[in-house]
Amino acid sequence: MMPNYSRRAVIAALLGSVATRALSDAPLMSLRPMSRPLKVGAITPEMRIPLTDVIRASGVTGRVGVVLADAATGEIIDSSDGNEPLPPASVTKVITALYALESLGPGFQFETRVFADGQIIDGILNGNLILSGGGNPNLVTDDLANLAADLKDSGLTKVLGKFYVYDGALPNLDEIDESQLDQSGYNPAITGLNLNFNRVHFEWKRVGGAYTVMLDARSENFRPAVTVAKMRIVDRSVPVYSYRDGGGMDEWTVARGALGSGGSRWLPVRYPALYAGEVFASFARGQGIVLTPVSETALAPQGEAITTHKSVPLRRMMQDMLRFSTNITAEATGMAATKERAGQMRGLRTSALGMSRWATERAGITPSFADHSGLGEASRLSAMDMVTLLNADGVDAVLNPILKAIPLRDDERRVMTDHPALVVAKTGTLNFVSALAGYIRTASGRKLTFAIFAADLEAREVGKVLNEERPAGSITFNTNAKKLQNKLLLRWAALNN
């Protein structure tokens, strides 16, 4: 006879079985709520650590000056050694951009012109042809090709006299900073007539046991060979490069053991006007206008130009300079700004001094600039002074739109594309020097100004004595400095939202 179970009893037994199984699995499960990942841009406990402790733990050697301020009120929010004068490196270009824009105007354009010194009759110039530079630091080979085409379109077919170049619109400098290595392409000469950032492209290839070398003035569409620079391969290990002034040409040697199977690099040009003249003459020849070998003239050409090339407006040029950190652009525009203010040319050091005095008048700060690019380590600027300038009346409206966006990164150095804060700033890097300064806009729209300057000048001196492009320890210093910068930006954006 089967037992007589009620429906209620059966349900109770089933529920009890389910409960028993659930309890038997209890050690494998947690009834506590799972922690949710922090929202991007949220405050973490690490961000509460005192600023000095964060700097101390960063591994950045030497001195570090840091300042954060409210852009609207100027109130100092965070600081450490903010009044310590340190090399600003390429952050100097931020001040140069403001100096040039306020001195020359955002629509200013450099002009490179071609003059005829004599009469042109039936397309024949009975006199000399002069390529005259106006100081344009960004003139490239393609621009000279266009000038030569325009010259042909003007009706000129023949030049009976000589071909000259004039570079007196700006002071002539053999290099920006004499402490740099000879082969540093970012340390070129500067004159009133510049080409390809005053660099020549050196390329080498090994074919069998021999090397072929080429020096050319390449730009986007052309790469004409040049003779104003010469390269000779020699059997040695060090130095990798040597330079000698050949009296109107650059004479280089390179160590065979350093060449490998092939490669290329940019080398500085010390005779930029002759370099530009040689390239222009090659394009003129292609247009059927044969010119004599180029010579320099110290006399400024007079009269109306046959044809003219204009640079991009200064505001665009300054934006590109801040993005690509071109030293020659900073020096040429800085000296052009000083010339405009003083009414006459000034040498680089005097011009930089003039910019220092202007900054004092403009924002009440006391910098000491050795140049306009930050390449020279003798320049000094404190993080406090940099922030003060960024907060000065009218500066934000000029600089903020042309500064470069700086990405924020996570602990794995991956770009945080979803971070709600926006940073626009200028970086600066030399061996054992790292700087960053600009503006932060937080998720709520609050605007902050900041400067982070770091320098280990003792280590830098050791590296200079060793005459190395990348002295031991410099990469580690730079890496640690950039990690510190990123950590501070994340901290400030979160804590001051």
What does each C-alpha distance from 228 to 153, 187, 193, 198, 225 come to in angstroms?
A: 28, 18, 15, 12, 10
Structure confidence at residue 36 (pLDDT): 52
Residues 358-398: tens digit of each pLDDT: 999 999 999 999 999 999 999 999 999 999 999 999 999 99
d(CA 305, CA 302): 8
Three-state SS for 214-235 is EEECCCCCCCCECCCEEEEEEC
Structure confidence at residue 38 (pLDDT): 60
Q: Among 388, 398, 393, 475, which Cα is nearest to 437's? A: 388
CATH number, domain of 340, equals: 3.40.710.10
Same domain, 306 and 338: no
Same domain, 342 and 378: yes
What does each C-alpha distance from 227 to 200, 242, 315, 325 come to in angstroms?
A: 11, 18, 35, 28
Same domain, 455 and 327: yes
Confidence of residue 37 (pLDDT cuts 50, 70, 90): low
Residue 295 has pLDDT above 80, yes or no: yes
Same domain, 250 and 359: no
d(CA 109, CA 70): 35
> Which residue, of 270, 302, 329, is where some domain finishes?
270
Using the structure block, give the residue that is written with the tokens 């960024």. Answer: 390
Which residues, in sequence order, are bridge partners of residue 307? 114
Give phi and psi for 335, each to the nearest 5: -70, -30
In the chain, how many domains are there? Answer: 3
The angle, 0 to 180 degrees and rounded to 10, between the axes of the packed helices 272-286 and 141-153 is: 50
Using the structure block, give the residue that is written with the tokens 């009706």. Answer: 155
Same domain, 421 and 317: yes
Q: Is residue 181 part of a domain?
A: no
Structural domain that includes position 413: 45-107+313-495
Average pLDDT over residues 304-331: 98
Q: Is residue 38 part of a domain?
A: no
Q: Is residue 180 part of a domain?
A: no
The angle, 0 to 180 degrees and rounded to 10, between the axes of the packed helices 92-104 and 314-324 is: 180
Structure tokens at 117: 């010194």
Same domain, 339 and 304: no
Using the structure block, give the residue that is written with the tokens 């930029």. Answer: 272
Q: Is residue 179 part of a domain?
A: no
Distance between start and end Cα atoms, the chain: 79
CATH number, domain of 280, equals: 3.50.80.20
Same domain, 115 and 216: no
Structure tokens at 410: 């996570």
> Which residue, of 282, 310, 338, is where some domain finishes?
310
Q: Is residue 330 part of a domain?
A: yes
Residues 177-193: tens digit of each pLDDT: 998 989 999 999 999 99
Residues 251-282: tens digit of each pLDDT: 999 999 999 999 999 999 999 999 999 999 99
pTM comes to 0.90
Structure tokens at 250: 């650059």
Same domain, 353 and 304: no
Same domain, 102 and 151: no
Q: Is residue 190 part of a domain?
A: no
Q: Is residue 14 part of a domain?
A: no
Residues 427-474: tens digit of each pLDDT: 999 999 999 999 999 999 999 999 999 999 999 999 888 777 789 999
Same domain, 299 and 159: yes
Same domain, 324 and 364: yes
Q: Among 74, 78, 77, which Cα is nearest to 55's? A: 78
Same domain, 466 and 366: yes
d(CA 371, CA 104): 18
Structure confidence at residue 70 (pLDDT): 98
> Which residue, of 289, 310, 331, is where some domain finishes?
310
Q: Is residue 33 part of a domain?
A: no
The angle, 0 to 180 degrees and rounded to 10, between the axes of the packed helices 314-324 and 327-342 is: 140
